Amino acid sequence: MEYDVIIGLEIHAELKTKSKMFCSCDNNAEGKEPNSVVCPICLGHPGTLPVPNKQAIEWVILTGFALHGKINQQSKFDRKNYFYPDLPKGYQISQYDLPLVYDAYLEIGDQKIAITRIHLEEDTGKLTHRHGADYSLVDFNRAGTPLMEMVTKPVIHDAQTAKQFCQLFQQILRYLRISDANMEKGEMRCEVNISLQKKKQWQYDKNLEILPVGDYQLNPKVELKNLNSFKAVEKAIEYEIIRQTKALKNGEALIQETRGWDENKKQTVKQRVKETSADYRYFPEPDIPPLNISEEWLDEIRKDLIELPPTKLKRFVEQYELSEYDASILVSDKNLANYTEQVISELNAWIDATGDDWERQKRKLAKTAANWLISELFKHLNTDNKNIKDLHITPENFAELITLVYQNKVNSTAAQQILHEMYKGGGDPSNIVEELGLAQIDDEAELEKIIKTIIEENPDQSSKYKAGKTALLQFFIGKTMTATKGKANPKTVSKILLKILK
């Protein structure tokens, strides 16, 4: 490893405000005819005046609070000038030197990833390139959508951390309910700036920008675009590390450029030479006055802050004694985290009513609930490509199922069958037990009679067990479960078998 990997991220997220960034057009164009959700303002007609969307400004500031950022109370919009067919005005209203948020960070594991800025701008339209045609089609429905851009410092050094950062940022946006951040739909777009620098020949300055040591010439950075999944972020970085390393070892000159990710070929491809900020000829947007953000306004925005995934994960681990892995799955989706806590609340109420050793039992039941949510309920949801919002099972009924398992009123096999019935149409688990006759058989006399018959029918296995092949115990347990249609208590069955097969 002759080189250090230096990575910075730029993440764009479309905000789901009711109207667009600078006009009153509907901001939800999904499923609508091309160029049907437009007006003279978002089409950039001469003589029109943009009016900033207050909700979008507040959501960017809220994101800044969530990421421990500082707020520029004196901010403004700027014109970013460049030509592209889907940019109707020939420039983009963005922010340059006074972004709404600066000096923020997001923790990934034990590392604080410094964030340079979070600013607000408008999205472009969308081009469609028809196969075999010598023209492209442009849809301006997306033009003017509020777009939040977050830029990190170049302090990430591996693909895994970069991917985790993008995933956690998406979770935070969804928790705050400011963006659906669906990468496949382009609602969140991740771009990677990556360079390789020779070890010990570079350093960070006080602003966490990289500087050369001595006469060393820094290698240029490459920007990776068209990354529409977290896997693509990871794979594109890994590919680029190999490509740049090979080029440097072969004495090839790297250039500052933009490269796209080809999902089919699993490689990056050159798109264009990378622009610099000077190429965009920024100047203050003359049609929008500067923003003066008062303390009173900031206080109102702070009221919308909620418990976010990192804090919730830590609490789940400490309060419910879940593993970090299980907790990370449960807090990955806000609705799932809320559902989990509602289930645990129902279980706690049940324990309090029984007067049991409540503290120990509450922790045990919380872990049981988490296991069933992750290992069983997710199977159904993932198979049908659904999420927790589509679930017919109430937290009360799910908690009741857990108590039936906990009290040994049903065994694991029967509980899975009950869950399947609940998943199909909801319902009370106790009623399902009664309707399907799934109550667990605990009567030792009844089970002993069944087990003796099974042993008599399998003399060879019985002899081998007594001769020392103790693994055959599972054979007899399985036979008993089959004979009782899965209703026998496995612990009771095991106890009886050990007694009889001495």
**For 13-49, how does the pLDDT look when each residue is reduced to its tens digit (9 = 90+)?**
999 999 999 999 999 999 999 999 999 999 999 999 9
Question: Is the domain of 51 the same as that of 156?
Answer: yes
pLDDT score at 358:
65
DSSP for 421-481, written as a single string: HHHHH---HHHHHHHHT---B--HHHHHHHHHHHHHH-HHHHHHHHTT-GGGHHHHHHHHH
The pLDDT value recorded for residue 382 is: 84
DSSP 62-96: HHHHHTT-EE-SEE--EEEE---TT-TTSEEEE--
Q: What is the mean pLDDT of the chain?
A: 92
Whether residue 97 is predicted with pLDDT greater than 90 in this model: the reply is yes
What is d(CA 22, CA 278) in angstroms, rounded to the nearest whole number? 25
Whether residues 431 and 451 share a domain: the answer is no
Q: What are phi and psi of 160, to 5 degrees?
A: -65, -45
Last-in-domain residue among 266, 300, 334: 300
Q: What tokens does 44 get? A: 């950039």
| Residue 385 confidence (pLDDT) above 90 | no
Q: What is the pLDDT of residue 170?
A: 98
- Weakest-pLDDT range from 68-72, 131-135, 277-281, 424-428: 277-281
81's tokens: 């000038």
- Interatomic CA distance for residues 449 and 218, integer angstroms: 82
Distance CA 208, CA 193 (A): 15
pLDDT digits (tens, 9 = 90+) for 193-246: 999 999 999 999 999 999 999 999 999 999 999 799 999 999 999 999 999 999
Confidence of residue 502 (pLDDT cuts 50, 70, 90): confident
Whether residues 62 and 27 fall in one domain: yes
CA distance linking residue 59 with residue 304, whole number of Å? 9
Domain end among 269, 300, 331: 300
Same domain for 450 and 338: no
pLDDT tens digits, 314-355:
999 999 999 999 999 999 999 999 999 999 999 998 888 876
Last residue of a domain, one of 417, 436, 455: 436
Give the integer Cα–Cα distance in Å for 122 and 289: 17
Regarding whether 181 and 247 lie in a shared domain, the answer is: yes
So what's the pLDDT on residue 274? 64
Which pLDDT band, with edges at 50, 70 and 90, does 486 fall under? confident
Sign, CA dihedral 55-57-63-69, equals negative
Residues 263 and 172 in one domain: yes
| Burial readout 401-421 (b: 16 or more C-beta within 10 A, e: otherwise) | bbbbbbeebbbebbbbbbbeb
Count of CB atoms within 10 A of residue 429's CB? 25
What pLDDT is attached to residue 72? Answer: 98
pLDDT digits (tens, 9 = 90+) for 149-176: 999 999 999 999 999 999 999 999 999 9
> What does the DSSP 8-state code read for residue 50?
-
Can you give the CATH number for the domain in which 471 is found? 1.10.10
What distance in Å separates the CA atoms of residue 121 and residue 12, rounded to the nearest whole number?
Answer: 10
Higher pLDDT: 168 or 473? It is 168
135 lies in the same domain as 263: yes
User: SS3 helix, strand, coil % of the chain, rounded to 5?
Assistant: 40, 20, 35
The pLDDT, as a whole number, for residue 447 is 86
Q: Are residues 269 and 187 in the same domain?
A: yes
- How far apart are the C-alpha atoms of 275 and 87, rounded to whole Å? 17
Same domain, 264 and 358: no
Neighbours of 101 (CB within 10 A): 27
CB 138 within 8 Å of CB 126? yes
Q: Residue 468: what pLDDT? A: 87
- Crossing angle for the helix pair 309-320 and 358-372, to the nearest 10 degrees: 130
473 shares its domain with 371? no
Domain tally, the chain: 3
Residues 395 and 457 in one domain: no
Question: Could you read off the pLDDT of 266-297 as tens digits, one per residue?
Answer: 999 999 886 666 788 999 999 999 999 999 99
Q: Give the number of residues written for the chain.
A: 502
Both tokens assigned to 221: 């950075």
Host domain of residue 127: 3-300
Residues 319 and 360 occupy one common structural domain:
yes
* Distance, first Cα to last Cα, the chain: 62
The separation between CA 154 and the C-alpha centre of its own chain, rounded to angstroms, equals 22
Mean pLDDT across 170-191: 96
Retrieve residue 464's tokens: 């081998």
